[in-house]
Chain A
Amino acid sequence: MSDATDIIDAVVLALRDQTQLAPEMLRSIVHEEVRRVLPPDRGFRVVISASGPNHTGIVAGIAQALSELGADIHDIRQTVVDDHFTMMLVVDSPRGDNEHISFATLQSKLQAVAEDLGIHVVAFHQDLLQTMHSV
């Protein structure tokens, strides 16, 4: 757990009974504020969706790119249906001694890898998915 996540958890816990905001919304707001105070882009979680025609080396290519950035794969699911490859990853940005990467850096690295591999890659911030898809 990064420092930022611990702080965010503690603040959300303290505030959640005193606000009408949905928990995910509260978390997003606290996350934003904490981000502004702490060094930038520490401890965010990204959801990556990759798809395209199947061939060897796709999983390796993406995993390698993420490894080079020091991002930690938290969850992964992948399937091939009729030669169509789909993969979803939940990725934690690096913490600790690694150099901090920005979301923009991650995005451009992913797009470069996607082009090399001939697949389509999209990344969303975890906050977007949480606020949209739970009540």
Chain B
Amino acid sequence: MIGFGYEHILETRRMVEVEHLDIRTTTLGISLLDIGGSDAKLPERIYQRVLERAGRLVEVAEEVEADLGVPVVNQRVSITPIALVAAGGTPELFVECAQALDAAAKECRIDYIAGFSSLVHKGMDRGDRAHFESLPAAMAATERLCASVNVASTKAGINMDAIQKLGPIILDIGQRTDRAIGCARFVVFANAVEDNPFIAGAMHGVGEPEAVINVGVSGPGVVHHALRRLVNDPPAKGLTLGNVAEVIKRMAFKVTRAGELVGRVVAARLGAPVQFGIVDLSLAPTPAEGDSVADILETMGLARAGAPGSTAALLLLTDAVKKGGAMASSSVGGLSGAFIPVSEDRSMVRAALEGALTLEKLEAMTSICSVGLDMVAIPGDTPATTVSAIIADQAAIGVANQKTTAARLLPIPGAKPGDVVEYGDLLGDAVVMDVNRFDASRFIGYGGRIPAPIQSLRN
């Protein structure tokens, strides 16, 4: 056979059946720029556009899953940031758009629709302010809608006015939704990307074409099992971290290739104007047994994720994934790093419960990983200014290191550190983390902008 041997057939079977290889998401990004406005018919136009583009998405994905033999687990939709689409609208109009998007998602049988977003890294305009004002009501009125705000970029600096406003907004969303689940659908970014396929932070950036399919692949299980085999059967000369990097690279290659194939086939079958966009190389865990990024860190020799050495191990992991993935595909994009969501990764949850993983160590790891403080539950009585300060810290890490960082914080009303909130499904169990109690309110109170760092002057 050309291009593969019998051993590869068994390898593929093992990857799919045992090691949880699957296409985590095929996300259809849809441009709404041409139907924007601030009139009362906007929500209906949005609804119809989503149906038009995404009506067949689930059906096609199921067909491709059957035809190729690899599971295509989730289908999602992302849209142009809503603040651009409804730029002249009132907060009430924004809420109606939110409901239209939610209804469209239900009609298309997709579990999440993302892009209820604004980009405010340099400042806010009317649309952005209306978006902010609409957020608590919009998240409370919807079940499948995902929202995000980009508050900083390496070029623009950090919009501390926006961050100041978002502290109380996040607390409000937390209070208005059951166990703050609305906050699980809201992300604050620095250096947000235009083609991220993973919810909750997906959005269809303004530089993107009319409609694209972006793919996220689930590889943690595959990488983990490959490393376990390596550790149990090391090379004769002894095992070094160089060997570890090699194995991860090879697995990332195969996983990325599978993802790109699925993405191209789905896009081709949906037909014009849909085109294939990118594969996001990110290792994205799920709560399922054996599908954990923390497990990989443990196999690499750390007692728990969060132990000293975790940041270095994550660097090796993320870099090897990128190198393998970059070899596999010329269409790499999205976040393309490692995800360290505390609730969606079973072994991360265990590490947090045992006290091995603290908020401060998570923050250090965000300088290396690709999503920042993700699904981090905090006590509901955390002051709004502290929530803002946590976001500001994330923004600083992203802006200084020219990478994407984010915060998806869940302030759980009535919860104390160590409490566990069970969301189930893909969101998993969230362990309430201990937050430093020292006050940041005067710092946050000043507002303004933290200027772009000197590394932004690259021309």
- Which chain A residues have a beta carbon within 8 Å of chain B's beta carbons? 20-21, 24-25, 28-29, 32-33, 36, 47, 49, 75, 77, 88, 90, 103-104, 107, 122-135
Contact = CB atoms under 8 A, between A and B. Distances in A.
A129 B261 contact: no
A132 B269 contact: no
Contacts of A130: 2-4
B257 interface: yes
Interface residue SS majority, chain B: helix
B264 A88 contact: no
Contacts of B254: 132-133
A125 B253 CA distance: 19
Contacts of A122: 13, 16-17, 69
B69 A124 contact: yes
Contacts of B3: 24, 129-131, 133-134
Contact of B12 (A36, A77, A128): A128
Contact of B68 (A20, A90, A128, A134): A128
B268 A129 contact: no
Contacts of B69: 122-125, 128
B12 A124 contact: yes
Contacts of B63: 104
Interface of B: 1-6, 8-13, 16-17, 63, 66-70, 253-254, 257-258, 260-261, 264-265, 268-269, 327, 330
A104 B69 CA distance: 11
Contacts of B9: 47, 49, 88, 124, 129
A29 B63 CA distance: 16
B264 A28 contact: yes
Contact of B6 (A25, A88, A104): A88
B1 A25 contact: no
Contacts of A20: 330
Ordered nearest first, which 3 A-B pairs have the shortest CB separation?
A130-B3, A124-B69, A133-B8
A131 B258 contact: yes
Contact of B269 (A28, A32, A125, A133): A32
B29 to A, nearest CB: 20
A130 B327 CA distance: 15
Among A32, A77, A122, A128, chain B packs the most CB atoms within 10 A around the CB of: A128
A25 B261 contact: yes
Contacts of A135: 253, 327
Nearest to A23: B3
B326 to A, nearest CB: 13
B4 A129 contact: yes
B258 A32 contact: no
Contacts of A125: 67-69
